[in-house]
Chains A and B, each alone.
Chain A
Amino acid sequence: MELLRFATAGSVDDGKSTLIGRLLFDSKSVFEDQIEAVEKTSEQMGADYTNLALLTDGLRAEREQGITIDVAYRYFATPKRKFIVADTPGHTQYTRNMVTGASTADLALILVDVRKGITEQTKRHAFISTLLGIPHLVLCINKMDLVGYEKEAFDRIRSDFADFAAKLQIHDLAIIPISALHGDNVVNRSLNMNWYGGASLLHHLEEVHIGSDRNLIDPRFPIQYILRPQRDDYHDYRGYAGTVASGSFRVGDEVLILPSGFSSTIIEINGPQGSLQEAYPPLSVAMRFSEEYDVSRGDMICRSGNQPKVAQGIDAMICWFTPDSFLESKRKLLLKHSTNPTRCLVDDLVYRLDINTLHREESVERLTMNEIGRVKLRTMKPLMFDAYKDNRSTGAFILIDEDTNDTVGAGMILGPTD
């Protein structure tokens, strides 16, 4: 069975929780005791029908306020695929949650209320999905039942979105008219919308081709941990453990170790199921090399003919997460990139991006919580990286405040600074 991770986003009343509740319910992933609990609570709240949204609102504060505060993860499976859903809240102030949920997603599912059409929120979510490099986008036009399942309303929104989408790099887009409340086009094709010739949402989630989304071209293996058994039978054993970030590695391959620049040959690969001839993402393995140089955590294994950039100046898009401080020039932060943490200095805030208009504001001094901007950073030691658009693994980093230890920002590398 294949695994698909998707992130959902929508405004408060777009029916996102209802849709997820519907997917879980119709795929038989919720159980009687959960339904009973939800029915009881719905009754107490005076609702006329079972509020499927209650299935997903986890924390007490959320149920009390009727909002979702944090990214929540849900699981369901069909005979074809297992799904991990990152359910992200839609409020304006929670851009950081959308970024978090999107960072690991193969697909983004954005909900639009057919009566409201494309809103600033929709644009923001579509933009964040592309900024985070999610390969597949699904726009669900919800509440079709409230417009009599009419094709015209759907077509209008589709063409509005096409105008906006032209500004973004969207590789794969599906637009599906649904009613989450009544289940139209969620699991089964709706009889109320015969004019729609596409797949139901679940069918699309099961069939969308994700096999080519991984980067299998550029070999990158960040060293995570070194296995040195203190045992006589493994006297000289050194296993270099890590998770393949991209590309593939075979026994016998000549590889390059960065930053030292030494070459060596892979003589053994051990995976979770034992000895392997080849390792590829996202397998966690341990490799042994023919020559034993001083290799440590944070080093990067690649090939001489295909190397990452090595630089101390990087140009990146940043999303700022904290209300406690700002991102501004001259600020020092900790940066964690792959298995290689280092200190960094903000050299320059190039611009802040208005994520509603995609306008670049160059005269700003700082980024505040939930804002996105382009910065130039200088790191204390060299980073070995690729552009985020080519490699979501070696192109990403987080920023940490050294005083509070909080994670305060997420970064996507554009390239080295000149």
Chain B
Amino acid sequence: MNYEITHLDVLESEAIYVMREVVAEFERPVLLCSGGKDSLVLLHIAKKAFSPCKLPFPIMHIDTGLNFPEVIDSRNQLEKIFDCRLLVASVQESIDKGRVKEEDGPTPSRNKLQIVTLLDAIKENRFDAVFGGARRDEEKSRAKERFFSFRDEFGQWNPKAQRPELWSLYNGRHRQGEHFRIFPISNWTELDVWRYVGKENITLPSIYYAHERKVFERDGMLLAAEHVQSSPEEEIFSAMVRYRTLGDANITGAVLSAATNIGEIINEIVSTRLTERGATRADDRVSDAAMEDRKVEGYF
């Protein structure tokens, strides 16, 4: 018997351990699912962690109303595939109720608005542990994130007052109204996620793979003409593209790609020279600390 273990197996077992620890110690966990690859990996691992039991928590989608239709299609199948309860919290409802105000301008982003929708849903449902698929390699301010990330009663993250995390001994103690964000795949990189998707044969929304689409270029990003209004001087053209991240359709850029399967995507990532957020997310380009600022307020 050799006791060798690959890095993906170590990361998978680590994530399972974290999820079981949360279910053992918290009262009302929920798993946030955007329909993107990271949250689908999380769901897949959750299923393994509690097999043959049903998932011991519901999953929740924050619907901005600006999602790619392919993502919504894939989300709508989750209940059946994973035999779990799906909650949908809607940003449109938050707007209608007057909790938030739509931004002005021709292409208003709902990226910041969804913080309120998320925090309201956490409060209403009295969730005390919220699983998310964030990874530390995604962005600089996330490099210091914990597996168990404490949020105060306002849902805020204080980067200077995080609990130290030692060994695999997590401290999830909290008072009523406070909650934790839990990041079981903290230690995974984009490449790890893709290798795992390939190894485990996980079904992802089709737009992760190369497809033909009408796009135009803005600030070095390719935006979908179908979802974003172009200006007269922005020329629309047809190209083979795929998405590396799935944010709202109006702020997420596609990349030129011929990769139609996992193997080709992995080859592309190995040779790419841009981070997934830098290449495709307008929301993180606003400033060097854009993500840090949103996280403090309670973002994912």
Q: Which residues of A contact B (CB under 8 A)?
A: 1-3, 31-34, 37, 41, 56-61, 63, 69-75, 77, 81-82, 84, 96-97, 99-100, 103-104, 211, 214, 216, 224-225, 227-231, 234, 237, 239, 241-243, 248, 270, 272, 278, 280, 282-284, 286, 297, 321, 334, 336-339, 392-393, 396-398, 400, 405-407, 410
Bound Cα distance A405, B279 (Å): 40
Instruction: List B264-296 residues whose CB lies under 8 Å from chain A.
Output: 272-275, 278-279, 288-289, 292
Interface residues on B, range: 35 or more
Query: B residues within 8 A CB of A71?
Result: 144, 164
Q: Are B12 and A59 in contact (CB under 8 A)?
A: no
Tell which of B6, B24, B275 touches A31, judged by Cβ atoms closer than 8 Å: B275
B51 is an interface residue with CB less than 8 A from chain A: yes
Task: For B53, list chain A residues within 8 Å (CB).
Answer: 227-230
- Which chain A residues lie closer than 8 Å to B76 at the CB level? none
Q: Do B163 and A407 have beta carbons less than 8 Å apart?
A: yes
Could you tell me the distance between the alpha carbons of A34 and B285 in the complex, rounded to whole angstroms? 11
A229 touches which one: B11, B52, B186, B275 (CB < 8 A)?
Answer: B52
Pairwise interchain contact B136-A283, C-beta atoms closer than 8 A: no
B81 within 8 A of A: no
Q: How far is the CB of A41 from chain B (nearest CB, A)?
A: 7
Contact between B289 and A60, CB atoms less than 8 A apart: yes
In the bound complex, how far is the Cα of B33 from the Cα of A120, in angstroms? 48
> Which residues does chain B contribute within 8 Å of A3, judged by CB atoms?
6-7, 10-11
B140 within 8 A of A: yes
Q: Is the CB of A393 within 8 A of B175?
A: no
Known: A58-B140, A58-B143, A243-B13. A297 touches B164 (CB 8 A): no
Q: Is the CB of A82 within 8 A of B167?
A: no
Residues of chain A lying within 8 A (CB to CB) of residue B159: 59, 61, 69-70
Q: Which residues of B contact A239 (CB under 8 A)?
A: 52
How far does the Cβ of A388 sit from chain B's closest Cβ, in whole Å? 10
Tell me whether B237 is interfacial, beta carbon within 8 Å.
no
Q: Which residue of A lies closest to B145 (CB)?
A: A73
Q: Is B88 an interface residue (CB 8 A)?
A: no
Residues of B within 8 A of A (CB): 1, 3-14, 16-17, 20-21, 23-24, 45, 48-54, 136-137, 140-141, 143-144, 159-160, 162-169, 171, 173-175, 186-187, 189, 191-192, 272-275, 278-279, 288-289, 292
Asked if B164 contacts A74 (CB within 8 A), the reply is no
A60-B289, A99-B166, A211-B4 are known contacts. Are A31 and B274 too (CB-CB below 8 A)? yes
Tell me the total A-B contact number using a CB cutoff of 8 A. Answer: 179
Q: Is the CB of A41 within 8 A of B288?
A: yes
Q: How far in angstroms is the closest Cβ of chain B from A56?
A: 8
Q: What CA separation (Å) do A321 and B161 show in the bound complex?
A: 12
Q: Which residue of A lies closest to B45 (CB)?
A: A272
Closest residue to B11 on the A side, CB-wise? Answer: A3
| A73 in contact with B163 (CB, 8 Å) | no
Residues of A within 8 A of B13 (CB): 243, 272, 282-284
Residues of B within 8 A of A242 (CB): 20
What residues of chain B lie closer than 8 Å to A82, measured between beta carbons?
Answer: 7, 189, 192
- B84 → chain A closest CB, angstroms: 14
Pairs A-B, 4 closest by C-beta atoms: A33-B278, A3-B7, A58-B140, A284-B16
Say whether A237 contacts B52, CB under 8 Å: yes
A224 touches B171 (CB 8 A): no
18 contacts between A and B (CB under 8 A): A1-B7, A3-B10, A31-B273, A34-B275, A37-B288, A58-B141, A59-B140, A73-B186, A74-B137, A100-B165, A230-B54, A242-B20, A243-B16, A270-B51, A278-B1, A282-B14, A336-B169, A407-B171
